[in-house]
Amino acid sequence: MDSNKHFDAIVIGAGPAGLTAGIYLSRARVKTLVLNEGTVGGQMVLTHEIANYPGVESISGYQLSMIMRNQAKKFGCDIKSNITLESLNTDGEIKEVILSDGTVFTADAVILTPGGRSRTLGVEGENELKGKGISYCATCDGDFFTDKEIMVVGGGNSALEEAVSLTKYASKVTIVHQFDHFQAFEFAIEEARNHPKISFMMESKITAFHGNEKLEGIEITDLKSGLKQNQPIDGVFIFIGYVPNTEFLAGKLELNQWKEIVVDTDMQTSVKGVFAAGDSIVKKYRQVTTAVADGTIAALAASKYIHELHQIKKLQHIL
Protein backbone atom coordinates (compact mmCIF):
# COMPACT_ATOMS: atom_id res chain seq x y z
CA MET A 1 0.00 0.00 0.00
CA ASP A 2 1.49 3.33 -1.15
CA SER A 3 1.62 5.57 1.95
CA ASN A 4 1.49 8.67 -0.25
CA LYS A 5 -1.83 7.52 -1.67
CA HIS A 6 -3.30 6.14 1.53
CA PHE A 7 -5.38 8.46 3.66
CA ASP A 8 -7.21 8.09 6.92
CA ALA A 9 -10.32 9.41 5.19
CA ILE A 10 -11.40 10.14 1.64
CA VAL A 11 -14.33 12.49 1.03
CA ILE A 12 -16.02 12.11 -2.36
CA GLY A 13 -17.62 15.42 -3.29
CA ALA A 14 -16.69 19.02 -2.47
CA GLY A 15 -20.00 20.76 -1.89
CA PRO A 16 -20.79 22.29 1.51
CA ALA A 17 -21.13 18.85 3.15
CA GLY A 18 -17.85 17.56 1.73
CA LEU A 19 -15.89 20.71 2.46
CA THR A 20 -17.23 20.83 6.03
CA ALA A 21 -16.21 17.21 6.52
CA GLY A 22 -12.77 18.10 5.17
CA ILE A 23 -12.47 21.01 7.60
CA TYR A 24 -13.46 18.96 10.64
CA LEU A 25 -11.35 15.92 9.76
CA SER A 26 -8.22 17.93 8.95
CA ARG A 27 -8.63 20.07 12.05
CA ALA A 28 -8.66 16.83 14.05
CA ARG A 29 -5.34 15.82 12.42
CA VAL A 30 -7.01 13.13 10.32
CA LYS A 31 -5.14 12.74 7.03
CA THR A 32 -7.86 13.64 4.54
CA LEU A 33 -8.31 13.72 0.77
CA VAL A 34 -11.32 15.40 -0.86
CA LEU A 35 -12.07 14.32 -4.44
CA ASN A 36 -14.46 16.28 -6.62
CA GLU A 37 -15.57 15.65 -10.19
CA GLY A 38 -16.48 19.25 -10.99
CA THR A 39 -15.93 22.71 -9.57
CA VAL A 40 -15.46 22.92 -5.82
CA GLY A 41 -18.67 24.05 -4.13
CA GLY A 42 -21.24 21.79 -5.76
CA GLN A 43 -24.73 23.21 -6.22
CA MET A 44 -23.83 26.01 -3.80
CA VAL A 45 -21.74 27.62 -6.56
CA LEU A 46 -24.89 28.09 -8.63
CA THR A 47 -26.63 30.18 -5.96
CA HIS A 48 -26.57 33.89 -6.67
CA GLU A 49 -27.05 34.98 -3.07
CA ILE A 50 -27.10 33.17 0.26
CA ALA A 51 -28.82 35.39 2.80
CA ASN A 52 -29.78 32.88 5.50
CA TYR A 53 -26.41 31.41 6.44
CA PRO A 54 -25.96 32.10 10.20
CA GLY A 55 -23.47 34.83 10.91
CA VAL A 56 -23.29 35.99 7.29
CA GLU A 57 -25.79 38.62 6.13
CA SER A 58 -25.26 38.04 2.43
CA ILE A 59 -22.75 36.16 0.31
CA SER A 60 -22.65 34.47 -3.08
CA GLY A 61 -22.48 30.69 -3.24
CA TYR A 62 -19.16 30.90 -5.05
CA GLN A 63 -17.62 33.13 -2.35
CA LEU A 64 -18.77 30.83 0.45
CA SER A 65 -17.40 27.83 -1.45
CA MET A 66 -13.97 29.43 -1.76
CA ILE A 67 -13.91 30.35 1.94
CA MET A 68 -14.72 26.76 2.91
CA ARG A 69 -12.17 25.39 0.44
CA ASN A 70 -9.39 27.65 1.72
CA GLN A 71 -10.28 26.84 5.31
CA ALA A 72 -10.03 23.10 4.66
CA LYS A 73 -6.70 23.51 2.86
CA LYS A 74 -5.37 25.67 5.69
CA PHE A 75 -5.92 22.77 8.08
CA GLY A 76 -4.02 20.42 5.76
CA CYS A 77 -6.82 18.88 3.72
CA ASP A 78 -5.74 17.70 0.27
CA ILE A 79 -8.34 18.69 -2.34
CA LYS A 80 -8.33 17.41 -5.92
CA SER A 81 -11.04 18.78 -8.23
CA ASN A 82 -12.05 18.13 -11.85
CA ILE A 83 -11.27 14.43 -11.51
CA THR A 84 -13.30 11.55 -12.92
CA LEU A 85 -14.17 8.73 -10.57
CA GLU A 86 -13.77 5.34 -12.25
CA SER A 87 -14.77 3.02 -9.42
CA LEU A 88 -15.20 2.70 -5.67
CA ASN A 89 -14.50 -0.49 -3.73
CA THR A 90 -16.00 -0.48 -0.25
CA ASP A 91 -15.46 -4.20 0.46
CA GLY A 92 -13.07 -4.95 3.28
CA GLU A 93 -11.42 -2.79 5.90
CA ILE A 94 -9.44 -0.69 3.42
CA LYS A 95 -11.58 1.27 0.95
CA GLU A 96 -10.30 1.88 -2.57
CA VAL A 97 -11.00 4.75 -4.97
CA ILE A 98 -9.84 4.49 -8.58
CA LEU A 99 -9.76 7.51 -10.91
CA SER A 100 -10.13 7.44 -14.70
CA ASP A 101 -6.39 8.09 -15.16
CA GLY A 102 -5.60 4.92 -13.22
CA THR A 103 -4.63 6.61 -9.95
CA VAL A 104 -5.61 4.52 -6.93
CA PHE A 105 -6.24 6.03 -3.50
CA THR A 106 -7.00 4.01 -0.37
CA ALA A 107 -8.48 4.99 2.98
CA ASP A 108 -9.69 3.60 6.29
CA ALA A 109 -12.98 5.49 5.94
CA VAL A 110 -14.95 7.14 3.16
CA ILE A 111 -17.48 9.97 3.39
CA LEU A 112 -19.80 10.19 0.40
CA THR A 113 -21.03 13.68 -0.44
CA PRO A 114 -21.76 13.48 -4.19
CA GLY A 115 -24.70 15.89 -3.98
CA GLY A 116 -27.22 16.12 -6.77
CA ARG A 117 -27.89 17.68 -10.13
CA SER A 118 -30.73 19.76 -11.47
CA ARG A 119 -33.87 17.82 -12.30
CA THR A 120 -35.04 18.32 -15.87
CA LEU A 121 -38.57 18.57 -17.23
CA GLY A 122 -37.88 15.76 -19.70
CA VAL A 123 -39.96 17.28 -22.49
CA GLU A 124 -39.47 17.73 -26.22
CA GLY A 125 -36.64 20.08 -27.18
CA GLU A 126 -35.14 20.39 -23.69
CA ASN A 127 -31.94 18.43 -24.33
CA GLU A 128 -31.34 20.15 -27.66
CA LEU A 129 -31.78 23.67 -26.25
CA LYS A 130 -29.91 23.34 -22.95
CA GLY A 131 -27.52 26.26 -22.77
CA LYS A 132 -29.25 27.85 -25.76
CA GLY A 133 -31.98 29.61 -23.82
CA ILE A 134 -32.72 26.93 -21.24
CA SER A 135 -30.77 27.23 -18.00
CA TYR A 136 -30.67 25.68 -14.54
CA CYS A 137 -28.42 28.34 -13.02
CA ALA A 138 -29.44 31.97 -12.48
CA THR A 139 -25.95 32.99 -11.35
CA CYS A 140 -24.33 31.49 -14.43
CA ASP A 141 -26.70 32.75 -17.09
CA GLY A 142 -28.80 35.62 -15.75
CA ASP A 143 -26.72 38.29 -17.43
CA PHE A 144 -27.41 36.79 -20.88
CA PHE A 145 -31.06 37.77 -20.51
CA THR A 146 -30.69 41.47 -19.77
CA ASP A 147 -33.85 43.34 -20.84
CA LYS A 148 -35.45 40.12 -22.07
CA GLU A 149 -38.58 38.22 -21.06
CA ILE A 150 -37.98 34.93 -19.29
CA MET A 151 -39.83 32.18 -17.45
CA VAL A 152 -38.93 30.40 -14.22
CA VAL A 153 -40.30 26.90 -13.68
CA GLY A 154 -40.89 25.67 -10.13
CA GLY A 155 -42.69 26.40 -6.89
CA GLY A 156 -40.14 25.89 -4.14
CA ASN A 157 -37.75 28.27 -2.40
CA SER A 158 -35.09 28.03 -5.12
CA ALA A 159 -37.54 28.89 -7.92
CA LEU A 160 -39.02 31.92 -6.17
CA GLU A 161 -35.75 33.27 -4.80
CA GLU A 162 -33.95 32.88 -8.12
CA ALA A 163 -36.90 34.48 -9.93
CA VAL A 164 -36.46 37.56 -7.75
CA SER A 165 -32.69 37.59 -8.39
CA LEU A 166 -33.31 37.36 -12.16
CA THR A 167 -35.36 40.59 -12.12
CA LYS A 168 -32.02 42.42 -11.95
CA TYR A 169 -31.52 41.39 -15.57
CA ALA A 170 -34.82 40.49 -17.20
CA SER A 171 -37.54 42.95 -18.19
CA LYS A 172 -40.22 40.46 -17.15
CA VAL A 173 -40.19 37.17 -15.22
CA THR A 174 -43.11 34.73 -15.36
CA ILE A 175 -43.18 31.94 -12.80
CA VAL A 176 -44.76 28.74 -14.16
CA HIS A 177 -45.97 26.21 -11.59
CA GLN A 178 -48.03 23.06 -12.00
CA PHE A 179 -49.98 23.49 -8.74
CA ASP A 180 -52.29 26.23 -7.45
CA HIS A 181 -50.00 26.93 -4.49
CA PHE A 182 -46.27 27.20 -3.80
CA GLN A 183 -44.11 24.92 -1.62
CA ALA A 184 -41.79 27.74 -0.58
CA PHE A 185 -41.46 29.64 2.69
CA GLU A 186 -43.93 32.46 3.14
CA PHE A 187 -41.30 35.22 2.96
CA ALA A 188 -40.13 33.93 -0.44
CA ILE A 189 -43.70 33.80 -1.73
CA GLU A 190 -44.43 37.33 -0.53
CA GLU A 191 -41.26 38.74 -2.05
CA ALA A 192 -42.09 37.22 -5.43
CA ARG A 193 -45.75 38.22 -5.35
CA ASN A 194 -44.90 41.81 -4.44
CA HIS A 195 -42.29 42.27 -7.17
CA PRO A 196 -43.54 44.45 -10.06
CA LYS A 197 -41.57 42.50 -12.69
CA ILE A 198 -42.93 39.07 -11.70
CA SER A 199 -46.16 37.47 -12.94
CA PHE A 200 -47.53 33.93 -12.49
CA MET A 201 -48.96 31.07 -14.51
CA MET A 202 -50.33 28.61 -11.97
CA GLU A 203 -51.61 25.10 -12.70
CA SER A 204 -49.63 25.21 -15.92
CA LYS A 205 -46.81 23.17 -17.37
CA ILE A 206 -44.27 23.61 -20.17
CA THR A 207 -44.74 20.59 -22.44
CA ALA A 208 -42.30 21.43 -25.27
CA PHE A 209 -39.51 23.81 -26.20
CA HIS A 210 -39.17 25.22 -29.71
CA GLY A 211 -36.18 26.67 -31.53
CA ASN A 212 -33.31 25.86 -33.86
CA GLU A 213 -30.01 27.46 -32.86
CA LYS A 214 -31.58 28.95 -29.74
CA LEU A 215 -34.82 28.86 -27.73
CA GLU A 216 -37.57 30.74 -29.52
CA GLY A 217 -40.71 29.67 -27.71
CA ILE A 218 -42.52 27.11 -25.60
CA GLU A 219 -45.67 25.05 -25.66
CA ILE A 220 -47.50 25.55 -22.38
CA THR A 221 -50.43 23.47 -21.18
CA ASP A 222 -53.17 24.64 -18.83
CA LEU A 223 -53.55 21.66 -16.51
CA LYS A 224 -57.15 22.52 -15.62
CA SER A 225 -58.52 22.83 -19.15
CA GLY A 226 -55.92 20.83 -21.06
CA LEU A 227 -55.58 23.75 -23.47
CA LYS A 228 -52.18 24.03 -25.15
CA GLN A 229 -50.76 27.23 -26.54
CA ASN A 230 -47.47 28.27 -28.10
CA GLN A 231 -45.78 31.34 -26.72
CA PRO A 232 -42.55 33.13 -27.67
CA ILE A 233 -39.98 33.50 -24.89
CA ASP A 234 -36.33 34.51 -24.68
CA GLY A 235 -35.27 32.20 -21.88
CA VAL A 236 -36.45 29.59 -19.39
CA PHE A 237 -34.86 28.82 -16.02
CA ILE A 238 -35.79 25.49 -14.43
CA PHE A 239 -35.69 24.97 -10.66
CA ILE A 240 -37.64 21.80 -9.85
CA GLY A 241 -35.28 20.04 -7.49
CA TYR A 242 -32.32 17.72 -7.77
CA VAL A 243 -31.52 14.12 -8.62
CA PRO A 244 -28.93 12.50 -6.31
CA ASN A 245 -25.60 11.67 -7.98
CA THR A 246 -25.57 8.11 -6.69
CA GLU A 247 -25.52 5.98 -9.85
CA PHE A 248 -21.96 4.84 -9.04
CA LEU A 249 -23.17 3.46 -5.70
CA ALA A 250 -25.72 1.02 -7.10
CA GLY A 251 -25.22 -2.39 -5.49
CA LYS A 252 -22.52 -1.09 -3.13
CA LEU A 253 -24.69 0.13 -0.25
CA GLU A 254 -28.33 0.70 0.65
CA LEU A 255 -30.25 3.28 -1.40
CA ASN A 256 -33.96 4.07 -1.13
CA GLN A 257 -36.47 4.08 -4.02
CA TRP A 258 -35.34 7.59 -5.02
CA LYS A 259 -31.68 6.47 -5.10
CA GLU A 260 -30.85 8.49 -1.98
CA ILE A 261 -28.26 7.06 0.42
CA VAL A 262 -29.74 5.53 3.58
CA VAL A 263 -27.88 6.65 6.73
CA ASP A 264 -28.35 6.50 10.49
CA THR A 265 -28.10 9.42 12.92
CA ASP A 266 -24.28 9.26 12.73
CA MET A 267 -24.40 9.45 8.91
CA GLN A 268 -23.20 5.82 8.80
CA THR A 269 -24.32 3.96 5.69
CA SER A 270 -25.11 0.24 5.45
CA VAL A 271 -21.38 -0.40 4.90
CA LYS A 272 -19.03 -0.21 7.87
CA GLY A 273 -16.55 2.64 7.54
CA VAL A 274 -18.57 4.39 4.86
CA PHE A 275 -20.46 7.54 5.80
CA ALA A 276 -22.55 9.96 3.75
CA ALA A 277 -23.79 13.54 4.03
CA GLY A 278 -25.49 16.33 2.11
CA ASP A 279 -28.09 16.37 -0.65
CA SER A 280 -27.53 12.73 -1.66
CA ILE A 281 -28.80 11.21 1.61
CA VAL A 282 -32.36 10.48 2.69
CA LYS A 283 -33.60 13.73 4.23
CA LYS A 284 -36.51 16.16 4.11
CA TYR A 285 -34.74 19.52 3.88
CA ARG A 286 -31.88 20.43 1.56
CA GLN A 287 -30.15 23.67 2.46
CA VAL A 288 -26.51 24.76 2.74
CA THR A 289 -26.91 24.75 6.53
CA THR A 290 -28.30 21.20 6.63
CA ALA A 291 -25.47 20.00 4.37
CA VAL A 292 -22.92 21.63 6.67
CA ALA A 293 -24.56 19.94 9.68
CA ASP A 294 -24.51 16.56 7.92
CA GLY A 295 -20.85 17.02 7.02
CA THR A 296 -19.98 17.86 10.61
CA ILE A 297 -21.71 14.75 11.98
CA ALA A 298 -20.19 12.50 9.32
CA ALA A 299 -16.70 13.84 10.02
CA LEU A 300 -17.00 13.40 13.79
CA ALA A 301 -18.36 9.89 13.40
CA ALA A 302 -15.71 8.95 10.82
CA SER A 303 -12.97 10.41 13.02
CA LYS A 304 -14.16 8.27 15.95
CA TYR A 305 -14.32 5.20 13.70
CA ILE A 306 -10.78 5.81 12.38
CA HIS A 307 -9.37 6.39 15.89
CA GLU A 308 -10.89 3.13 17.16
CA LEU A 309 -9.60 1.27 14.10
CA HIS A 310 -6.08 2.56 14.65
CA GLN A 311 -6.23 1.60 18.34
CA ILE A 312 -7.22 -1.95 17.43
CA LYS A 313 -4.38 -2.18 14.93
CA LYS A 314 -1.89 -0.98 17.56
CA LEU A 315 -3.08 -3.62 20.02
CA GLN A 316 -2.87 -6.32 17.35
CA HIS A 317 0.68 -5.22 16.53
CA ILE A 318 1.70 -5.36 20.20
CA LEU A 319 0.17 -8.78 20.67
Nearest to 171 by CA among 239, 234, 220: 234
- Mark whether 145 and 67 lie in a shared domain: no
- Mark whether 156 and 218 lie in a shared domain: yes
- Rounded to an integer, the average pLDDT of 221-245 is 95
- Rounded to an integer, the average pLDDT of 240-257 is 94
**For the domain that residue 282 is a member of, what is the CATH number?**
3.50.50.60
Number of domains forming the structure of the chain: 2
- Mark whether 152 and 211 lie in a shared domain: yes
pLDDT at 216: 96
- Rounded to an integer, the average pLDDT of 233-260 is 95
- Mark whether 153 and 51 lie in a shared domain: no
- Mark whether 136 and 159 lie in a shared domain: yes
Predicted confidence (pLDDT) at residue 1 exceeds the cutoff of 60? no
Give dist(CA 294, CA 260) in Å, integer.
Answer: 14
Residue % of the chain over a pLDDT of 90: 84
Whether the CB-CB separation of 220 and 229 falls below 8 Å is answered with yes
- Mark whether 146 and 189 lie in a shared domain: yes
> Residue 3 — very low, low, confident or very high, per pLDDT cuts 50/70/90?
low
Give dist(CA 60, CA 51) in Å, integer.
Answer: 9
- Mark whether 196 and 233 lie in a shared domain: yes
pLDDT at 4: 74
- Mark whether 233 and 204 lie in a shared domain: yes
- Mark whether 70 and 211 lie in a shared domain: no
Interval 101-114: pLDDT, tens = 999 999 999 999 99
- Mark whether 106 and 255 lie in a shared domain: yes
- Mark whether 108 and 253 lie in a shared domain: yes
pLDDT at 49: 79
Answer yes or no: pTM beyond 0.85.
Answer: no
How does DSSP assign 125-193, residue by residue?
THHHHBTTTEES-HHHHGGGGTT-EEEEE--SHHHHHHHHHHTTT-SEEEEEESSSS--S-HHHHHHHH
- Rounded to an integer, the average pLDDT of 126-131 is 93
Interval 17-62: pLDDT, tens = 999 999 999 999 999 999 999 889 998 887 777 888 999 988 988 9
* End residue of a domain, out of 204, 238, 272: 238
- Mark whether 63 and 84 lie in a shared domain: yes
Give dist(CA 15, CA 122) in Å, integer.
Answer: 26
* End residue of a domain, out of 238, 259, 285: 238
Interval 140-195: pLDDT, tens = 789 999 999 999 999 999 899 999 999 999 999 999 999 999 999 999 999 999 99
* End residue of a domain, out of 203, 220, 238: 238
> Residue 287 — very low, low, confident or very high, per pLDDT cuts 50/70/90?
confident
State which residues form the domain around 84: 3-117+242-318
Q: Which amino acid is at 162?
A: E
Mean pLDDT across the chain, nearest whole number?
94
> Residue 137 — very low, low, confident or very high, per pLDDT cuts 50/70/90?
confident
Predicted confidence (pLDDT) at residue 138 exceeds the cutoff of 60? yes
